[in-house]
Structure 1
Amino acid sequence: MIPRRLLPCAALPALIAFSSAPACAETLKVVASFTVLADVVSQIGGENVKVTSLVGPNGDPHEFEPSPADAKHLKAAQVTFVSGEGLEGWMDRLISASGYKKAPVNVSEGIKTRTMEEDGRTVTDPHVWNSPVNVKVWVASIEKALSAADPADAGTFRANAERYTKTLDALDAYAHSKFDTLPHDRRKVLTSHDAFGYFGREYNVSFLAPLGMSTETEASAAEVAKLIEQIKAEHVKSYFFENSNDPRLVRQVATATGAEPGGELYVESLSDQKGPAPTFEKMFRYNVDQLAAAMAKSS
């Protein structure tokens, strides 16, 4: 680890007698539940944090099964971040197994959430990050938690948060520039599961999906048939796969409706570094470009 203070550690022994402060600041060990959140934490923490994502690139946070290594990472963490709203159903089990004693920081508190119907009950949609407006709430929560854990670097966290908030504002403006000029009746696409509700709310785009908010659910034959009829009636022209989900069901629906493939979307997981979506900023821009291109083509 590279020391982050103006004086190297070797030069500090003579000063210890005059100060009760630690000689060297430690890099914060931080855990985030999945890659999208881990990237945003890294943007705010910068070189002052070491972030471990429990769910890896291209992983599904709904169906994630923690390993002993994940428990070890969690137990060593000084700060842990979750998105909450029911996304990480496995987290309580992992906390119990690891012996972690702190409460995770729920970064989504304060977001105006949306509800949806799932198996006959009303549930909260957890996919808040698909709107950069919501991610600004994340940023404020992350900055506050990191500053509390490392007050000496609070100024750096604040500056990083201000910079990244401007990035999120630019992403929001970029999406509006792509969608606002498209006809409303062409802002419709088919995806694997219902994960784009906040995106749709922000940019007036309709997403149809054979599965609900979680990939752990299963669609009945009657539900799939109803969706096929709806797609035909509403003239949905494009469908998309998701990087972290099984594409077979959406391909089946697309075949029955004549929808054309629009590509792959990154919904709840970043790609690896060689892929098109290794950061949230790149993921969001990539999704916007893919969706806008398909809608413009169908227009």
Structure 2
Amino acid sequence: MQTVIVIGVISFASPRALAVGLALAVPLTLTACGEGGESDPAVAGDCPTTPVDVVVSVEQWGKIVTALGGACADVTTVLSGNSGDPHDFEPTPADAAAFTGAQLVVINGGHYDEWAVRLAESTAPDAVVVDAVALLGGDHEGHEHEDHDHDHGGANPHAWYSPAAVTDVADAVTATLTELAPDARGYLEARHTEFTAAMQPYRALIDKIRAGATGKTYAATESLFDDMAAALGLTNRTPHGYQVASSNHADPSPADLDAFLRLLSDRGVDVLIYNTQTEGSLPQQLRTAAERAGVPVVDVTETPAPDAATFEAWQVAQLTALAAALGIEA
């Protein structure tokens, strides 16, 4: 049976139910580095016990898990960089072997990395599974839309763009690592404290943009950034038909594309959010229309930028560019 982390109790279920919270059986009293002897190993960089074997499906979460686990987690990230589309990824036998013996598996969920769900079930049945989308309860906060409801039949699978999911996953990973390696409690608490401190520029930028973005609108070539945009208080004006088609990996109708192009040419939004990793000529057509109309274009990526050493560095760079495009001093 696979352990499922839930708020207040540890229960058991199949990996399709997956982790949805923190176990009170694994209390976390987070302390700063250097506060007492237990935190000293974190300063030295040595794990006081055998590291936990961890497998992470995608790099977006891999960077976070690596930062939290430090020397007390042997982390294998299956899909790194631009090595494949997680939706269509076909794991190799070597990828499957990476799950063997895993004590903790961290996945995105939301049908984004179903291959990892299957491998966790078949190859690591005793592992604890932390699922980012499940932690949000499948109830991702909606955006403020104009005249229509962008309902795509479920949570946005790009959970790493949800600040709430980032916090939930970090807490769940630390709680689980502490349960699996109780002798490393002080080390892991210190790592969590360090991660929280490192994320302060990210949190501060979110607060600053939200405070200055009242009444600001956006459109997006994909739904990738929507959860972050919602957290920032931006209003989504992406044409409904276009966004539904994009979310279902289908081509928009000519009418939906025309509506998007007219929105941009009329300067009907304050900014265009552009996923640079999207293939095809259609996104470029939208970018060209925005640039011709003088609508600022903010580039975002689905996977961490190659030059970003950490998750927070990747996110801060994008948020800084967005703040500039909106005329908000960062």
Q: TM-score, normalised by structure 1?
A: 0.76
Residue number among 244, 257, 269 corresponding to 1:224 in the alignment: 257
Root-mean-square deviation (CA, aligned residues, Å) is 3.3
Unaligned runs of 5+ in 2: 1-40, 43-47
The 8 Å contact of residues 31 and 80 in structure 1, kept in 2 or not, is answered as yes
Q: TM-score, normalised by structure 2?
A: 0.69
The 8 Å contact of residues 36 and 279 in structure 1, kept in 2 or not, is answered as no
CA change 1:95–1:76 in 2 (3 A) is same
Matches within 5 A, 1:58-207: 58=82, 59-95=84-120, 99-102=123-126, 104-111=129-136, 113-114=140-141, 122-182=153-213, 184-185=215-216, 187-188=217-218, 190-207=219-236
Structure 1, 87-96 or 31-40: larger mean CA deviation: 87-96
Larger radius of gyration: 1
Return the offset for 1:119.
10
Please name the residue that 1:21 is paired with.
none
Question: Residues 16-46 of structure 1: CA distance to partner in whole angstroms, max 9, x if unpaired?
Answer: xxxxxxxx94322211111111111111101
**Residue 160 of structure 1 aligns to which amino acid in structure 2?**
R
The 8 Å contact of residues 182 and 296 in structure 1, kept in 2 or not, is answered as no
Return the offset for 1:92.
3.5
Please name the residue that 2:300 is paired with.
265
Question: Residues 26-69 of structure 1: CA distance to partner in whole angstroms, max 9, x if unpaired?
Answer: 32221111111111111110111121212211354333332222
Runs of 4+ in 1 over 6 A off after TM superposition: 116-120
- SS at the partner of 1:239? strand
Instruction: Work out the number of aligned pairs and report it.
Output: 269
Q: What is the rounded CA distance, in whole Å, between the counterparts of 1:218 and 1:100 in structure 2?
A: 38
Unaligned runs of 5+ in 1: 6-23
The sequence identity of aligned pairs, in percent, is 23
CA change 1:292–1:248 in 2 (3 A) is farther
